[in-house]
Structure 1
Amino acid sequence: MSENHADVAIIGAGIVGLAHALAAAKRGLKVVVFDRTPTAVGASIRNFGMVWPIGQPAGFLLDRALRSREIWLEVAAKAGFHADRSGSLHLAYRQDELDVLREFVETRHPPVNGGVIALLTPEQVMEKSPAAVKDRLLGGLWSATEVIVDPREAIAKIPAFLTQAYGVEFKFNRAVTEIAHPTLKAGDERWSCDRIYVCSGADFETLYPAIYQESGITKVKLQMLRTIPQPDNWRLGAALCAGLTLTHYKSFDHCATLPALKERIKTETPYFVEWGIHVMVSQNYQGELIIGDTHEYGLNPNPFDRADLNKYILDYFQTFANPPSLHIAETWHGIYAKILDRGVRGQGLSDREEEISPTPNPQPPTPSTELIAHPEPGVTIVNALGGAGMTLSFGLAEEVVAMEL
């Protein structure tokens, strides 16, 4: 069995692994990245492509998201993929939604780096996006910080950029099955590495499974849809979402007006709460709209997608967006890892799944924003960024690498 050496080895070529490869390679280190599949096919290519700082609470997470945004723009320019500085709009059609938006604007510290948030009138909303439904529109929250990439394009092009710019070596179709620092085994190759990062996403059963079991980690399945390219080069403008999204992101949790909105949604449309549904839309450079999503929690996600959940998504979508075409070209599901907050438990879980899902420790060893663990000296697990991998990975990787290398 041949043996090779690298300063840094990374397990996983999704966005978390790529971000750590970039952060390490910038320091002049020899980096090798392993992935068990011929190309990355996990959650990193099955999402909206939204870099979404507006969803992060003020403080270190917002700072991390804004730093990630900077890196996304730098990498996009060098790697040759599209990055649309579209900004975002949260639309309000009910008074309780507008109340949350108004309170958010009044209490949110303005983002740094020239970011802007503002509460817009219906007329101002329509100037930002021709897709917004104007009937009964009360206003909208504008944020300038959001960037849209096509995750399939970006995740496919970043490895070649890292190889060309920094000499990063990629070992696709090569599963790492054994780690005993400083050595790892991948197929018929043995590597010695000074530092190993395990960024394996939803595959947390293969390496260090006991660490994951103790962490309270679970899996989240989401369903999404993609339209055909919109006719006549029509563009969405700002990425759109509406009242449901205010109940999903932590950035709105401090609003005293939020519980009333949550209660109204739970009473009027309990299936949104049951299946963790909130609805957003982005548009890629090809003109396709990406619409979603649901959130089902459990260690053994149902492999079968449900048409009724996609219908819930599309029905709600049409209450706030009216694009030229809603012809659906593709549907799919993604699965990502998350440290489950107690307040989320039960959404999308059957009674049986609720019983068998591990309960987080009373005092978890890591924050619920991500899982960072050190199963042995020289090895770091980085996982469970939840649904914010595209938004936070580049910034988090710089922080982790700066502390350890």
Structure 2
Amino acid sequence: MFDLIVIGGGVLGTFHAYHALEAGLKVALIEKDKAPQDATTRNFGQVVPSGMNSKWQNYGRESLSIYKNLQTQFDISVRQNGTIYLASDEEEMQLIEELHDINIQNGYTSEMLTKQTCLHHYPGLKSSYAKGGLYFPDEVTVEPRIMIHRLLDFLKTEKNLEIHTGKTVKSCEHTGNTVNVDTACGSTLKGSKVIICNGREFKILYPALFAQSDLQVSKLQMMQTKPQGTGYSLPGSVLTGLSIRRYEAFSECPSFSVIKSREAQDSPEKKWGIHILFKQAKDGSVILGDSHQYAEAKDIDDLGYDLDMEIDDYMVRKAKEIFRLPNYEIAHRWYGMYSQCKTKDLFQTTINDHIHIVTGIGGKGMTGSAGYAKENIQNLFNLTT
């Protein structure tokens, strides 16, 4: 009998398990695949509270502390190498200056960088693009295809997390004070509470509930270059003008709505939801992207399984306008899918006092999950802080 069973081994589910274990609870985690392989492993690995609105920045800042603390115990690939937002015109400069002021008020460290400082610290940055930057020194990156696997191994070996992989949960039935969690392979786990962190999987558990929700799924295309070779180093998370015009943190800036109203509505950036990000992986390659295409949760299959090369080619062209990398030879292309709500910041519902669903965290997952899950576990189990 477990105090908590977590369904879903992505970053949101895993951090719910982590905080429950830290509270001394007996926890099991069930993951349908051999290992997590959806949105948690198919992203940039950028932990950027700076891009979030004030509410979620608080969760993100707590996440930073959690990531850094875990890294002191076990190498989960955390690197504190900061985040830069590069402005390409006067409007974007105005927005980063306003966000800098907001973060001063919030007590979150950021630094305005001149054009020359940006050109000095970010090799290959084109002078024709950069007007200045806003830098967040406390932010970190992780390797998304490494971090979650190492974290689960750590929780299994050091924290006694019981992990069941390759098992699809087909039903959760509550009887008395027990929830029976049945898997398709015939096994049953019993727990006092269940948290379902199902990512974009809406067809197995409670499909009617998700079909009637305001959840939608975003499909993102990303690429990874071949290693850039010795001597080239692009530090931290690099976000550009299109990110400044997109990220929710900037929507709190006084000038944001007016600046957004002046944007062309028929551009490729609008059509495909493109904003250009860069992050150098440990092997020297550079991950770049990304795009956003949307479908309702019930219509997820409409997004298809193809990579649109027109989108990829456009993103590479835009990236070349910003950075002169030693090479733009693409070694890998892929897409990721994550769920998000259209009217709320995440999807959270209780089937009864014992079964809880938390999903639809959208692009906030890698940054916000650790901090949010801590609060959610405290609330669900009536724990004192």
Q: 1:29 aligns with which of 19, 25, 29?
A: 25
Q: 2:134 aligns with which of 121, 134, 141?
A: 141
Residues 128 and 378 (structure 1), Cα distance of their counterparts in 2 relative to 1, 3 Å cut:
same
For the residue of structure 2 that corresponds to 1:253, the secondary structure is helix
Q: Measure the CA separation in 1 of the matches of 2:332 and 2:272.
A: 21
| Identity within the alignment, % | 26
Q: Which runs of 5+ in 1 are unaligned?
A: 342-367
Q: 1:86 aligns with which of 69, 73, 81?
A: 81
Q: Measure the CA separation in 2 of the matches of 1:370 and 1:136.
A: 35
- Which range is displaced more, 207-216 or 286-295? 207-216
- Which range is displaced more, 298-307 or 326-335? 298-307
For the residue of structure 2 that corresponds to 1:215, the secondary structure is coil
Q: Does 1:386 align with 2:362?
A: yes
Q: Which residue identity is paired with 2:186?
A: D
Q: Measure the CA separation in 1 of the matches of 2:249 and 2:240.
A: 15
Listed as ranges, the matches of 1:5-404 within 5 Å are: 5-58=1-54, 60-112=55-107, 115-181=108-174, 182-186=179-183, 187-266=185-264, 270-298=267-295, 299-300=299-300, 301-341=303-343, 368-404=344-380
Q: Measure the CA separation in 2 of the matches of 1:155 and 1:79.
A: 12
Q: Measure the CA separation in 2 of the matches of 1:29 and 1:158.
A: 18
* Deviation of 1:215 (Å): 2.5
* Deviation of 1:265 (Å): 4.0
How many residue pairs are counted as aligned between the two chains? Answer: 371
Residues 125 and 85 (structure 1), Cα distance of their counterparts in 2 relative to 1, 3 Å cut:
same
Q: Measure the CA separation in 2 of the matches of 1:121 and 1:314.
A: 26
Partner of 1:345: none
Q: Note the alpha carbon deviations across 1:20-70, whole angstroms, 9 max, x for none.
A: 110111111111111111111111000000101111112x31111000111
Q: Which residue identity is paired with 1:194?
A: S
Q: Which residue identity is paired with 1:295?
A: H
Q: Measure the CA separation in 1 of the matches of 2:158 and 2:38.
A: 25
* Deviation of 1:214 (Å): 3.1
Residues 399 and 48 (structure 1), Cα distance of their counterparts in 2 relative to 1, 3 Å cut:
same
CA contact (8 A) 1:227 1:327 kept: yes
CA contact (8 A) 2:118 2:130 kept: no
Q: Measure the CA separation in 2 of the matches of 1:51 and 1:107.
A: 19
Q: Measure the CA separation in 2 of the matches of 1:210 and 1:74.
A: 40
Partner of 1:350: none
For the residue of structure 2 that corresponds to 1:232, the secondary structure is coil
* Deviation of 1:83 (Å): 1.2
* Deviation of 1:263 (Å): 4.3
Q: Measure the CA separation in 2 of the matches of 1:194 and 1:306.
A: 45
Q: Note the alpha carbon deviations across 1:63-114, whole angstroms, 9 max, x for none.
A: 11000111112223323232111111111222222122222223444554xx
Q: Measure the CA separation in 2 of the matches of 1:252 and 1:136.
A: 20
CA contact (8 A) 2:8 2:31 kept: yes
* Deviation of 1:233 (Å): 4.7
* Deviation of 1:7 (Å): 1.5
**Where has structure 1 moved over 4 Å in runs of 4 or more?**
none
Q: Measure the CA separation in 2 of the matches of 1:143 and 1:65.
A: 13
Q: Measure the CA separation in 1 of the matches of 2:229 and 2:70.
A: 30
CA contact (8 A) 1:208 1:375 kept: no
Q: Which runs of 5+ in 2 are unaligned?
A: none
* Deviation of 1:136 (Å): 4.6
CA contact (8 A) 1:266 1:272 kept: no
For the residue of structure 2 that corresponds to 1:154, the secondary structure is helix
Q: Note the alpha carbon deviations across 1:361-396, whole angstroms, 9 max, x for none.
A: xxxxxxx11111101220110101111100000011
Partner of 1:348: none
CA contact (8 A) 1:292 1:313 kept: yes
For the residue of structure 1 that corresponds to 2:224, the secondary structure is strand
Q: Measure the CA separation in 1 of the matches of 2:44 and 2:143.
A: 8
CA contact (8 A) 2:141 2:236 kept: no
CA contact (8 A) 2:129 2:321 kept: no
Q: Measure the CA separation in 2 of the matches of 1:118 and 1:141.
A: 6
Q: Measure the CA separation in 2 of the matches of 1:32 and 1:232.
A: 43
